[in-house]
Copies of this chain bind each other. A is one copy, B any other.
């Protein structure tokens, strides 16, 4: 019934380099529900792939173990719908590895978009990004989400665009990364009858 358009969007959840409460660069631990929730949202909104980025071998193994359970193991039989979502997950050691891989596979230019809870002078608005995803152009976009207290400065500086922060209707802006990712995908790709 509904069209499933080809969306030129990838998402990635970064576990390194991110910052802790004190602004120090750390590698955060993988959270099971970050895999499930963001994969299910990515599947709902037609995102191409969902990259989990961590340089730590044990953590990479953990991600593979969880996704294998739901894509090939007992979980796949128990809940095939969960399988469809978790199949979008690919684990990689670094953003550079992802960009190299995408560069080899894609003929289109790759544009890096970062999310941040902080305001930025040249923020990209949701409506502009929505338009960019809707028009036929030569770009592929990869949207980065940070774990812990957010993406390290070096990642933000590398980006082509910084997406504007989510604004609720209070000064409080401390959503979980799972909620933020869901809301952002909905603002960019959802059929919510509020815009085109």
Interface residues of chain A, those whose CB is within 8 Å of chain B, are: 1-5, 7, 21, 33, 36-37, 40-41, 43-46, 79, 81-82, 84-85, 125-127, 166-176, 178-183, 185-187, 189-195
Number of copies of this chain in the oligomer?
2
A183–B182 Cα distance when bound, in Å, is 6
Check A190 against B179 for contact (C-beta < 8 Å): no
- Chain B residues positioned under 8 Å from A167 (CB to CB): 2, 190-192
- Chain B residues positioned under 8 Å from A43 (CB to CB): 170, 172, 174
A83–B108 Cα distance when bound, in Å, is 45
- Chain B residues positioned under 8 Å from A7 (CB to CB): 169
A169-B186 contact, Cβ under 8 Å, with A41-B175, A85-B174, A178-B179: no
Check B189 against A169 for contact (C-beta < 8 Å): yes
Residue of B nearest to A37 (CB): B176
A170-B44 contact, Cβ under 8 Å, with A179-B182, A182-B179: yes
Check B168 against A45 for contact (C-beta < 8 Å): yes
